[in-house]
Structure 1
Amino acid sequence: MTAVPVTPLRPAAPPLSVAATLRDLTARLAHSRHYDIGFPGAVDLVFPELAELMTGHLLNNVGDAWGDPGHGVNHTKDLEREVVTTIGGLLRAPRDCWGYVTGGASEGTEHALDEAWQRYPDIVVYTSAAAHYSVAKAARKLKLQLVIVRTDVTGRMDVADLAGELARRRERPAMIVATAGTTMTEAIDDVAAIREVCDDLAIIRRRIHVDAALSGVPLALLPEGQRPAFDFAAGATSMVVSGHKFLSTLMPCGVLVYAQSPYRNADTRVSYTGSADTTITGSRSGHTPLILWTVLNRVGFDGLRERAEASRRLADYTHKHLCELGWDAHRNPHAFTVTLPSPPSGRLGRWVLADDGRLSHVICMPGVTVGQIDEFLNTLGHGPGRRRLLRSRAADATAVLSSAV
């Protein structure tokens, strides 16, 4: 018998080495955070009151959020249910909505596609060319036919093109994945118009899922007259928002909400966990519902609304001054995101922007400051359409700061 070589165990690192590594990581993250204005992760909220719960307890929300396990108390499912119903209420879901806290918005979209496929095995998935890449990935994993719909110049789904694609397959059930806050331009698909197209074509076997990862909560906090038709009242059957984007949970998570539970009549209980198997993963973090619950209750809707408005003011400021510098910048209504033609990499210095090869964007998330934007604009300099010196922005900066939270 040939002896199998045994890999020796790695010796424990000396305590000083561990401390130095963590210290260097902290310094690196603090330095890079200043220059990262291209990706939508808010980091302005911190949670010192959760220190003991975050570091001293295993919290496992295994299985369905709406049934506590028959053993143990190391979970936060009661808080998770409050998070789902609170977010559901913001999105104008029915009172008896269902959902759970996911590992991110992509998991929520995959769950929605999987639920739709289980109900309608011959379903076709429709989404826009500007949708998140996870939609195509989930369709591929589930082996579902995927149809890509054109977008307009702002990045919104072209509802006329969707109507044409749906009409070609009227005999098939449809799963339309709309987006509230597309990746590059933060465009908002018109869910009410999507519902009307389905009604006009008599497509009754349908699902309308809305990926509202970034924009769902900020849009829901707008005054009624300004709020786009993107939510359950507009026709959505399921929606997902991210926690680590606008809500600043500091670790990836999402909140998936269905208008009604798709499992009311299903017997999916797993005997040894004491919980129904209704989620993509088995074990789920009990810490992320805890953080989400803390944000919603400590900051409150008024505080969240103030954060959103401060971000919009800063986005307006950024858009205005990019245009003054000669950049062909654009910003959709209510967006934190400002797009511009992709600058040459040598013009950016240390600044991190998202770039799809044609456009780049700045996202004025809560926590980004006027000072950061001014520093970025000074680094970027004039645009290709206008060669002149960067003029003073002191008056505008003062106005933004005076109205900030």
Structure 2
Amino acid sequence: RETIRIYRDVPPIIIANIGTTMKGAVDEINRIKGILKELSIPNYYIHGDAALSGMILPFLQQAPAFDFSTGVDSIAISGHKMIGSPIPCGVVLSKRAHVERIARLVEYVGSRDTTISGSRNGVTPLFMWYAFKTKGHDGFRELVQSCIQLADFAVQALNEIGILAWRHPYSTTVVMPRLNLTVVKKWQLAIYKDISHMIIMPNVNRQHIESLLKDIQDSDGEEE
């Protein structure tokens, strides 16, 4: 708020986190819009970084909205996370007016190019198309619900062995205190300062969680 107020003559570009990396927290678009209105900022650009949670929130009841109806100008969602592409990729959705600003006619192919780089991968859209066609809306909803249930199991099980774990209501990211380095390396857990996390994805099952719990208990008392 204060930064925007100080530089109010410069239209702000705001990156809203739709699921932060370590904790899965979601920025409130309506609150951001409220601050802009309060400061009488007429021109701005809001981008929603929904790399992971963009394929989680739409399938949960009462989840925070982040679509174009909320006032965002563009949204980015990863294709290799919840969608399941075997190759890293993503989709950027933007309002037509913004897309047209960068569109350029490419004479030798006889069409307009709307990418920033001038090129794009040809096979990753096929992977995502296949995922949407085979799973469909109901399939992804079941997938997300399954991940949420497993995340709840992980939180409960970790707390039962004395690990203070938790998760945001609309996230499959399980947050816990920083674990023993041996466990972190074996399970490739992300760490930042005093916390660790694990993200429950479709490839994770109950047996994985139980094996992790055993390793945590076995490492109790080990030196870093």
TM-score (norm 1): 0.52
| C-alpha distance in structure 1 between counterparts of 2:39 and 2:184, whole Å | 49
1:176 to 11, 14, 34: 14
Write the letter of the residue equivalent to 1:261: A
Kindly indicate whether residue 31 of structure 2 is the aligned counterpart of residue 217 of structure 1: no
CA contact (8 A) 1:188 1:230 kept: no
| C-alpha distance in structure 2 between counterparts of 1:210 and 1:270, whole Å | 29
Write the letter of the residue equivalent to 1:195: K
Q: What displacement does 1:200 show?
A: 1.4
| C-alpha distance in structure 2 between counterparts of 1:206 and 1:349, whole Å | 42
Q: Partner of 1:40 in structure 2?
A: none
Q: Per-residue CA shift, 1:35-82, capped at 9, x if unaligned? A: xxxxxxxxxxxxxxxxxxxxxxxxxxxxxxxxxxxxxxxxxxxxxxxx
CA contact (8 A) 1:211 1:241 kept: yes
Q: What displacement does 1:348 show?
A: 4.5
CA separation of 1:360 and 1:266: change in aligned 2, threshold 3 A = closer
Q: What displacement does 1:267 show?
A: 6.5
Q: What displacement does 1:278 show?
A: 2.5
| C-alpha distance in structure 2 between counterparts of 1:233 and 1:176, whole Å | 17
Q: Per-residue CA shift, 1:303-332, capped at 9, x if unaligned? A: 000000000000011111111111121211
| C-alpha distance in structure 2 between counterparts of 1:328 and 1:382, whole Å | 17
| C-alpha distance in structure 2 between counterparts of 1:299 and 1:315, whole Å | 21
Q: Partner of 1:309 in structure 2?
A: 145
Q: Partner of 1:363 in structure 2?
A: 199
Q: How does 1:115-264 map to 2 (within 5 A)?
A: 163-223=1-61, 226-264=62-100
CA separation of 1:358 and 1:308: change in aligned 2, threshold 3 A = same
CA contact (8 A) 1:175 1:208 kept: yes
Give the secondary-structure state (helix, strand or coil) at the position aligned to 2:96.
coil
Q: What displacement does 1:343 show?
A: 1.2
CA separation of 1:346 and 1:239: change in aligned 2, threshold 3 A = same
1:292 to 104, 124, 128: 128
Q: Tell me which of the two structures has the higher relative contact order, counting C-alpha pairs closer than 8 angstroms and 6 or more residues apart.
A: 1
CA separation of 1:349 and 1:197: change in aligned 2, threshold 3 A = closer
Q: What displacement does 1:268 show?
A: 1.6
Aligned residues: 221
Query: Which is greater in Rg?
Result: 1
Give structure 2 stretches of 5+ with no counterpart.
none
Q: Would you identify which runs of 4 or more consecutive aligned residues in structure 1 move more than 6 Å?
A: none
Write the letter of the residue equivalent to 1:186: G
CA separation of 1:380 and 1:200: change in aligned 2, threshold 3 A = same
Q: What displacement does 1:220 show?
A: 1.2
